[in-house]
Each structure stands twice: as structure tokens, then as C-alpha cells.
Amino acid sequence: MALDTDISSPSMESYVSVDDADQYHTAFGHADWAQANTTEKEAALRRATQYLDARYTFKGEPDQPQQPLAWPRRGHPWPERRVAAATCELALRALSNPLLSDVAPLGVRQETIGPLTTVYSEGSGDGQIRYAVVDDLLRGLIAGGITTRLERA
């Protein structure tokens, strides 16, 4: 099935077409993208769009109440270049690795030596990989901004 990127379609599946992604990756010299076939590219673009809609809360309201994806948004011209670029960046990564993964709960280990107890936390955040280029591209479009959580142990 071909990738549906028509924003008026109820079956819209990606923010970017394969042709547009090809142009983006060619401009940035991403050879890994050029080596993938069309089916792999379509799947990667779907996963990238899914990641964006699952991991980010965007400012404003959807343009149409029944649209299948978070974009377009009311008051933002479509296509939004930064959303398209973020989709392309994530799709490149999705060719070789999952963007979203199952995460085990964070582990805590402690040791007591005499009167002192030290607590070690394994990992931080929610265990998902963050993509700095995507965070930077979406800055200003995200509700509440992009934040880093600090915790005191």
C-alpha cells in the first residue's frame, strides 16, 4: 500500500512523502536513506510520524477535528517545514533501529557500608532515546516546551 500523505484524507499515515524525504536526505548527504527501497522508506516514515505523535504534545488545536494525525494545526501553514524535517530525521534512524522501545522499570541498587548507605539509580528519564535534532527542530511548536527532568536522589 502506498504511503498516504494527503492531509485531507482520513487515512493519512505520514507527514512526508517518500519523494520529499528523498529530496531532504539527498540535500543532507544521507547515503543510508538512498540505499533503502521504497517499502522500507514508507515504513520508516510511518514509524517516524507515529513517534512524533506519541512523544510530543504540540501547541494549538488540530486543523480538522477528525484528522488522523496531530498535524496540521490551526494557525500554522501546512506543510510545517520543521515537522517535515523532524519526520525525515526520525525516518532515517528508523531504518536501522526502533524509535520507541519497551522499557524495563528503572532499577535502584543500594549498598550499606557501616553507617553509610549509598543508593544508585540505573538510568534516568523514561528510558526512551531522545533525538536532539528533533527536539531542536520542534522547539516552539511543543506545548510547554521541551524540558529536562532533574531528580534528587
Task: Specify the higher pLDDT residue, 118 or 49.
Answer: 49
Point out which residues pair with 142 in neighbouring strands. 58
Cβ burial of 69 (10 Å; 0-12, 13-18, 19+) is: middle
CA 113 to chain centre: 43
Of 14-18, 76-80, 127-131, which has the strongest mean pLDDT?
14-18
Inter-residue contact 139 to 83 (CB < 8 Å) = no
Q: What is the pTM of this model?
A: 0.79
Q: What per-residue confidence (pLDDT) applies to 10? A: 81
Q: What per-residue confidence (pLDDT) applies to 92? A: 98
Task: Specify the higher pLDDT residue, 78 or 54.
Answer: 54
Q: What per-residue confidence (pLDDT) applies to 122? A: 59
Point out which residues pair with 112 in neighbouring strands. 117
Q: What per-residue confidence (pLDDT) applies to 39? A: 97
